[in-house]
Amino acid sequence: MGLFNFRKTVDQDIEVQSSIKDRTPGFEYLKENEIYFDSACQSLRPQPVIDSLINYYQKHNSCGERVKYQWGKITDQKVEATRDHLLKFLKLKKKNYFVSFTLNTTYGINLLLSQFDPKKAGIKTIITSDIEHNSVFLSTMQLSNRTKIERIVLSRDQDGSLPLSEVPDNSLVVVNVMSNVDGRILQNLRDLVEYVHQKQGIIILDAAQAMAHHFYLLEQTEADAICFSGHKVYAPSLGVMVVHRGLVEYLNPTFLGGGMVDDVDKNTYLPSFEHQDKIHTLFEPGLQSWGEIIALDESLTWLEQLPQSTKDNLKGCSEKLFEFLSSHPKIHCLNHHASTVFTFYIDHIDSHLLAEALSDQGIMVRSGYFCVHYYLDHKLKLPPLIRVSLGYQNTESEIDRLIKILKKF
C-alpha cells in the first residue's frame, strides 16, 4: 500500500486498544492514544521524578554551593547525595572518581576533549568507530585537527565489539557503549578498557544509550571517563560526567566562571578544583541545574526499584518487534538482534512522511540519520530511516498496534 492510501484508510481499520492498565506505574499521565517510541532521544519521566523537580522549585529553590540560608543547605545536601548515588550506582569508588554535571553528553565529551592535552598524556593516536554519534565523531575529528594527531575510524563487529588488535599503543579511545542506531552493545567493553590501559592509553565512554537499560555493563568499569545524559535515563535534561581523578592532570582548563574559584586577583585566581572535595567544579562553571540534578537522584532510585516484571515486559516488547521487522519482506532493518533501539526503512516509502503518518495515529517515532551521518548516509549510503526506540512506558499492545500498521505495507 502506498503512503497516501495508508493515511486515508488507516483510521478505518486500526483499533485503538487500551494499554493504560498495562503501563508501568509512573506513566499514568499518558493518554490512551499516545504511544511514545523515541526514548533513544529522551526518555519519558516517571511521575516521582517530575514530583521531585516540582518539589525543588516549590520547597527549596536556591543556588547550590554559594549560600548560607536553609534552602541552600538542603539543595547542597541533595546534590551531594546525587553525586554519591551515581558512584554507588556504577559501583565506582569515590577516592578514584568524581561526578560533574553539565548540559548533555555532547557537551561533556566536548568539554573533556577540548581541555585534553595529548602530549602531556603521551597520546599518539586517536581511535573512534564508524557507528558513533556526532558527539563523538565530530569531537574526535576536532581534536585531531587541533593537535595534528592521527585519528583512526575503526569498524565495529556485528556484536558491537571493537577489534583490540587494531588499537595501537598510546591511544586515546572514544567510543559508545551502545549504538543509538541499532542498539549494538560494546560486547568487549571490559577487555577494551583493560587493553587500552595496558597499552598506556586513555579511554572515554559515551554511555548515553547504555545507561537507561544496560547500566550493569558499566558497573566497576574503570574507564577514564564516562559521559551520559539524564534525559535518557528517565531524569530531567542534563549531562553527567563520571571522571577518574587521574585524568585531570592531562587537562588544561579552558572554561572558567563563578563557582570554580576560591579567590580572584587582578591577573590571577585560585582554583577551587585543585581541592579534591571540589574537583567536580572543573567542569561546572556558573550555576548548575540544581533541581534537575536532584531529580536525577530520584530517577536512579526509580530504576533500582523497578520490578523484574517491568524489565521482562521491555525485553518481550523488543523481541516481538525484532521478530516482525527482521522478517517483513519490504522492511530493511539494520538490527542484527533485539534491542530497545530499532532502525529501518521500507521500500519506496519516504521515512519522513511515514513518521508524519504514524504521528497522525498518535505514534511518535524518529526519522532521518539520528546524528550518525557518516555511517548511515556516507558509508552505507542509505536513505533517511525510521527509528523506533522503546522505554519502560511501552506495552505489548503498543507494539501490536505498530506492527498492525506496518503490516499494511
- Domain CATH number, residue 372: 3.90.1150.10
Both 324 and 187 in a single domain? no
Point out the domain boundary residue: 281, 304, 327: 304
Both 257 and 397 in a single domain? no
Residue 59 is assigned to a structural domain of this protein? no
Q: What is the CA radius of gyration of the chain?
A: 22
pLDDT at residue 5, as a whole number: 61
**Among 124, 225, 120, which Cα is nearest to 170's?**
124
pLDDT at residue 145, as a whole number: 98
Residue 337 is assigned to a structural domain of this protein? yes
Both 312 and 300 in a single domain? no
Both 103 and 182 in a single domain? yes
Both 320 and 299 in a single domain? no
Please give the sequence-ordered ranges of beta strands (E in DSSP) within 22-149, or none if there are none: 35-36, 97-102, 125-129
Both 194 and 286 in a single domain? yes
Tell me the C-alpha distance between 151 and 164, whole Å: 16
pLDDT at residue 395, as a whole number: 96
Residue 121 is assigned to a structural domain of this protein? yes
Number of compact structural domains in the chain: 2
Tell me the C-alpha distance between 80 and 354, whole Å: 45
Residue 53 is assigned to a structural domain of this protein? no
Tell me the C-alpha distance between 22 and 28, whole Å: 10
Q: Is 332 helix (H, G, I), strand (E, B) or coil?
A: strand
In the block, residue with C-alpha cell 505495507: 409
Both 129 and 34 in a single domain? no
**Among 311, 116, 310, 109, which Cα is nearest to 229's?**
109
Point out the domain boundary residue: 269, 304, 339: 304
Q: Hey, what's the torsion of the CAs at 315, 321, 324, 326, to 10 degrees?
A: -80
Point out the domain boundary residue: 276, 304, 332: 304
Residue 55 is assigned to a structural domain of this protein? no
- Per-residue pLDDT 10s for the chain (409 aa) are 566 565 655 554 445 454 566 788 999 999 988 999 999 999 999 999 999 999 999 999 999 888 999 999 999 999 999 999 999 999 999 999 999 999 999 999 999 999 999 999 999 999 999 999 999 999 999 999 999 999 999 999 999 999 999 999 999 999 999 999 999 999 999 999 999 999 999 999 999 999 999 999 999 999 999 999 999 999 999 999 999 999 999 999 988 999 999 999 999 999 999 999 999 999 999 999 999 999 999 999 999 999 999 999 999 999 999 999 999 999 999 999 999 999 999 999 999 999 999 999 999 999 999 999 999 999 999 999 999 999 999 999 999 999 999 998 8
Q: Is 351 helix (H, G, I), strand (E, B) or coil?
A: helix
pLDDT at residue 405, as a whole number: 96
Q: Which amino acid is at 152?
A: I
**Among 317, 377, 313, 373, which Cα is nearest to 342's?**
317
Both 179 and 133 in a single domain? yes
Both 140 and 270 in a single domain? yes
Tell me the C-alpha distance between 339 and 391, whole Å: 11
Residue 388 is assigned to a structural domain of this protein? yes
Both 107 and 236 in a single domain? yes
Q: Residues in the chain, how many?
A: 409
Instruction: State the sign of the Cα–Cα–Cα–Cα dihedral 154, 160, 166, 168.
Output: positive
Is this prediction's pTM over 0.85?
yes
- Whichever domain contains 234, its CATH number is 3.40.640.10
Both 212 and 329 in a single domain? no
Residue 156 is assigned to a structural domain of this protein? yes
Q: Give the range of the structural domain holding residue 179, as residue numbers without chain letter.
A: 64-304
Both 165 and 272 in a single domain? yes
Residue 178 is assigned to a structural domain of this protein? yes
